[in-house]
A and B are shown apart, each in its own frame.
Chain A
Amino acid sequence: MKKNVIGCFIVAMTLLLIINPLSAADSPPVAGGILPDIKLSIPKDSAGKSYLGLGFFGFGSFRIPEIKTRLVIIEIFSMYCPYCQREAPNVNKLYDKIEQDPYLKGKIKIIGIGAGNTSYEVDTFKRKYNILFPLFPDEDYAIHKMVGEVRTPYFIGVKVNPDGSHQVIYSKLGGFEGVDQFLEMIVKLSGLQ
């Protein structure tokens, strides 16, 4: 009987080690590496779906490299973070520059992930700063843990290859020193120009 219990305990602990419910990364994604397996809910609004190229009738979840583009810029932010609030107009400027550039439009997409923010809080941030790119809530910090519990704002650039594979090309804490410089730098790193 005792042996049975010990046996069951060993099997259960082995399972726990394999299926770790708290799988968290020790460090942020690094340039040259790949993203953790982040799943996001497909936006409900048609503008968000269309921007990400996820199809008008899409629902459920998607992975970031499935976005129809060649470069994704991910901002890890929080509605409650003063620096993210201060950086919001700059990120909007970056979005506008991309959308107004006939060559870059469609080739670079921006998304934001609100660490510890509810849907309501993310929507509040979106309304406050008139943000036109999709923002996703991460209420329980699950994604935040997967990207190494970074401070905010944190930016990750991901190059999406035609074969569906991807590569992190930029991963850094802090806002842009200049929107133009940032855009030029990330375009160069991605090989778009």
Chain B
Amino acid sequence: MKIHIKQVMVIFFSGVFILTFLFVPTVYCLSDAYKNNIYNPGILKPTDSVLKLKVGDRAPDFTLKAVSGEMISLKQYRGKKNVVISFVPAAWTPVCSDQWPGYNIVKEIFEQHEAILLGITVDNIPTLFAWTNQMGNLWFPVLSDFWPHGKVAAKYGVLRSDGVSERALFVIDKKGIIRYIDVHDINKRPPLEDLVSVLEKLR
């Protein structure tokens, strides 16, 4: 029985590749703030929707209820603020439970670029209330796209086939024009620097 180094190397590196990229457990939502209350759905299909908008399009208007009870419309920021919309899939799931607390400590960065952040999920208000309470006091509105279910997410083309939204960022300038879209891999958190570099270009 002959051992061929070349064949061994091919099988070895294929094994390394498979282990590294297919079976690496995703480690997210580490904060002890949530204790054991985060439901882990496992690794999901990275994206599962068809985007209906592109950079340069006018952002479709919407009005949604915030956790605070206030009704928020996109058009109320027209001519006043740049808007970052952060769609996250669902409350009490990994990654999302981390993402907004990170944005919560960089209010200055948003203000510096005359931007407001709107967080949106397809959950109802009581669920969002309980979930966001674990994050501390959020400085930005969290909106419920619960009923008609996922209507805004669908309008933007980020509603997945199982009824949750993608993990997506839309940056809309003061004229209401979409300047950036990131429909991110649902299993991963978008690096903060990517969003900040877009905000820096808005001036």
Contact = CB atoms under 8 A, between A and B. Distances in A.
Nearest to A77: B30
Contacts of A39: none
Interface residues of A, number: 42
B7 A4 contact: yes
A39 B4 CA distance: 34
B74 interface: no
Main secondary structure of the interface of A (DSSP, over half): helix
B161 interface: no
B44 interface: no
Contact of B102 (A22, A80, A153): A80
A49 interface: no
Contact of A79 (B4, B102, B136): B102
A185 B203 CA distance: 52
Interface stretch (B19-27, B48-56, B63-71, B152-160): B19-27
Contact of B31 (A5, A9, A78, A120): A78
B187 to A, nearest CB: 12
A33 to B, nearest CB: 22
B136 A118 contact: no
A116 B8 contact: no
A81 B16 CA distance: 31
A152 interface: yes
Interface in B163-203: 189, 191-193, 196
Contacts of B23: 22
A21 B23 CA distance: 11
Given A4-B7, A13-B15, A152 B102 contact: no
Nearest to B192: A121
Contacts of A81: 30-33, 98, 101
B106 to A, nearest CB: 6
Contacts of B135: 82
Interface in A82-141: 82-86, 115-116, 118, 120-121, 124-125, 128, 141
Residue of B12, B15, B31 contacting most chain A CB atoms (<10 Å): B31
Residue of A8, A83, A120, A145 contacting most chain B CB atoms (<10 Å): A8
Nearest to B99: A80
A9 B191 CA distance: 39
B72 to A, nearest CB: 23
B136 A85 contact: yes
A125 B193 CA distance: 13
B32 A151 contact: yes
Nearest to A86: B136
Contacts of A150: 30
B1 A3 contact: yes
B45 interface: no
Contacts of A152: 30-32
Contacts of B191: 118, 120-121
A12 B8 contact: yes
Nearest to A16: B15
B25 to A, nearest CB: 8
B8 A149 contact: no
B136 A12 contact: no
Given A124-B106, A124-B192, A22 B30 contact: no
Given A13-B11, A78-B31, 6 more contacts: A12-B7, A13-B15, A81-B33, A85-B101, A116-B189, A118-B193
Interface of A: 3-9, 11-13, 15-16, 20-22, 78-86, 115-116, 118, 120-121, 124-125, 128, 141, 144-145, 149-153, 173-174
